[in-house]
Amino acid sequence: MTDTSGKTIPRIGIIGGSGFQQLLGLTDAQAIHCDTAFGQPSSAVTTGYLAGVPVAFLQRHGPGHTIPPAAINAKANIAALRSVGCKQILSMSAVGSLSAEVPPGHFVLVDQFIDRTLMRDKTFFGPGLVGHVPFSDPVCGRMRQALAESAAAAGVAARDGGTYIVMEGPQFSTRAESMLYRQWGGNVIGMTAMPEAKLAREAELCYALVAIPTDFDCWHQSHEAVNAAMVSERMAQIGASARRLVEEAVKRLGSHDGDCRCGCDRALETAVMTAPALRDPDMLARLLTVAPNATHLLPR
């Protein structure tokens, strides 16, 4: 992946969620079936070029939407995208809105999360290799700035910044829960951003998420109750705007070069607590498949 001057062009990983099952406009498409150290990803990774920029696309819920939120192998998904050369991940996520300020069709460039999930494997670390990455700012600021510029260029209504409540699911919220999350300052609610964002940070990848409200959550009592059919129908209606935003975004993200100003690509520099002599070699080897620049963790 080099340009005419021989300069390496970074590949952009794109994760599509509900209603974003394919990447239209992709050229030189090739499906790659990845076998990672963490198992099989949700789908084959489709590589190619979008607007002349190398990209890789993965379907979060699998072809035909067969994988429920808590069963998504997010570790394998991140590992698969890393294995084909991705350094930045753009995540697209259908959500419910918790605010009248972000009605259906008005995107949110998320900058914070509240993780309410309980049943998911959320880390590449564990017994034998203990690590704690910084996560106060879970989204890459450089990527989010590019997304805000892209939304303006694409004529897409988007709120720059917002808090995504990540619920376990697969059921939608009760009305009492929805009201509580509004009091917490949540702007949107969904089921899939965690542990995806946490794992991307541990893999030293830049990560950003575009939340796409398809409905008002059940707090909005004058609005009909959310259901799966509604989400699919609304995503079909919003799809053209999402595709315009993604195409504009990859043009800007593809120009990112050098170290990330947010430190996403250096998240493991001070993260590992385990003494070098006691680090589990098998766990370390698996970690290096998703964070290949973390060779400083190897015993000297």
Model pTM score: 0.93
Binding site annotation covers 216? Answer: yes
Say which of 217, 257, 265, 280 is annotated catalytic: 217
Q: Is 94 annotated as a binding residue?
A: yes
Exactly one of 215, 257, 280, 282 is catalytic; which is it?
215
pLDDT in tens, 179-230: 999 999 999 999 999 999 999 999 999 999 999 998 999 998 766 666 666 6
Known catalytic residue at 257? no
Amino acid at 69: P
Chain mean pLDDT for the chain: 92
Predicted confidence at residue 23, as pLDDT, reads: 75
Residue 99 assigned to a binding site = no
Structure confidence by residue, pLDDT tens digits, 247-286: 999 999 999 989 999 999 999 999 999 999 999 999 999 9
Q: Which of the four pLDDT bands, split at 50, 70 and 90, describes residue 18? A: low
Average of per-residue pLDDT across 229-246: 76
Give yes or no: 137 in active site.
Answer: no
Hey, where are the domains in the chain?
11-297
How far apart are the two ends of the chain, measured CA to CA in Å? 33
Does 61 appear as a known binding residue? yes
The pLDDT of residue 137 is above 50: yes
Q: Is the pLDDT of residue 4 over 80?
A: no
**CATH code for residues 11-297:** 3.40.50.1580
